[in-house]
Amino acid sequence: MDHNIQEYYETAIAVAKEAGEVVKDGFYKEKKVDIKTSFADLVTETDQAVEQLIMSRFSSKFPTHKFIGEETVAGGKKCEFTDDPTWIVDPVDGTMNFVHGIPHVSISIALAINKEIVVGIVHCPILDTMYTAMKGQGAMCNGKKISVSKISDLSQSVVIIEGGNARSGNEAKTKSNNHLKIIQSSHGIRAYGSAAIDMCHVARGQGEAYIEYGIHIWDIAAGILIVQEAGGVVADPKGGPVDLVSRRIVCASSKAIVGQISAIVEHIDLERD
């Protein structure tokens, strides 16, 4: 089957813009917040409304395509990642930021065909910033080409990290230890509260690396392509190519930094998506 990637790309941009208006509307209103898996894992009416909007638009235009969405999976639907054209969506990446009025909130939309990401869109409606990428065509921010940092030494790098939802137990302890090791080996760390935005910072050279354990396919799918198309490297922290459903990722401006980070952190194995 032939695929019109340009059409998919343009449709995704249009849908992201429409969804962004819903996010902006909800951002400045009083929010109804529910707890999913823990007090640190939140969902709002906006998350659900945006996902339904995006699903509706893609289902109408591309009825044979599959769909993986954060809130759909949270509602009990199994995450099935196959070779079929599949839209992978996080309707509000950075829900905690959204709830607290912090503007680092994004809509992440990716399209995978044969399990390869061919379209990636990260729209930050409150920041009025949109990152876009199409396989083989480079990455852009608000229509202008972007590229990763030229720094290739961890000691001169800013590394983006996140705490995730784990607040106790071995996972939380290991993450804390890893963060300390990274601080001791780099210029410093940053955390923006949205995996998609974190990866886009690496893509545009505002930080040299990002590593996280505990993320999901919808958090990283669009960012993977954007980083790669900006000249960056995306990998499994344990070595080898990134596995979208392994729930772990490292990306950086260079293969050298990926290797330097992977060598100092303790790796965490998590249940797959």
pLDDT of residue 68: 95
Last residue of a domain, one of 81, 110, 145: 145
30 and 111 belong to one structural domain: yes
What is the C-alpha to C-alpha distance for residues 257 and 252, in angstroms, rounded to an integer? 6
Q: Are 17 and 59 in contact (CB under 8 A)?
A: no
192 and 127 belong to one structural domain: no
Per-residue pLDDT of 22-60, as tens digits, reads 999 999 988 888 876 666 667 788 999 999 999 999 999
Nearest to 48 by CA among 91, 7, 86, 82: 91
Domain residues for the domain of 225 are 154-264
Which CATH number is 63's domain given? 3.30.540.10
Q: Which helix (H) or strand (E) holds 175?
A: helix 169-185
Which CATH number is 189's domain given? 3.40.190.80
Per-residue pLDDT of 179-225, as tens digits, reads 999 999 999 999 999 999 999 999 999 999 999 999 999 999 999 99
In this structure, of 74-83, 90-99, 206-215, the range with the lowest mean pLDDT score is 74-83
Residue 192 lies in a domain: yes
Please tell me the total count of domains within the chain: 2
What is the C-alpha to C-alpha distance for residues 130 and 122, in angstroms, rounded to an integer? 6
20 and 141 belong to one structural domain: yes
Last residue of a domain, one of 93, 110, 145: 145
216 and 242 belong to one structural domain: yes
112 and 190 belong to one structural domain: no
Alpha helices (H) in 186-243, listed in sequence order: 195-203, 217-229
Which residues are annotated binding-site positions for Mg(2+)? 70, 90, 93, 219
Task: Give the chain's radius of gyration (CA, Å).
Answer: 17
* 148: pLDDT strictly greater than 80: yes
Q: What percentage of the chain carries pLDDT values higher than 90?
A: 82
Which residues are annotated binding-site positions? 70, 90, 93, 219
Residue 271 lies in a domain: no
159 and 107 belong to one structural domain: no
137 and 197 belong to one structural domain: no
What is the C-alpha to C-alpha distance for residues 221 and 184, in angstroms, rounded to an integer? 29
pTM: 0.95
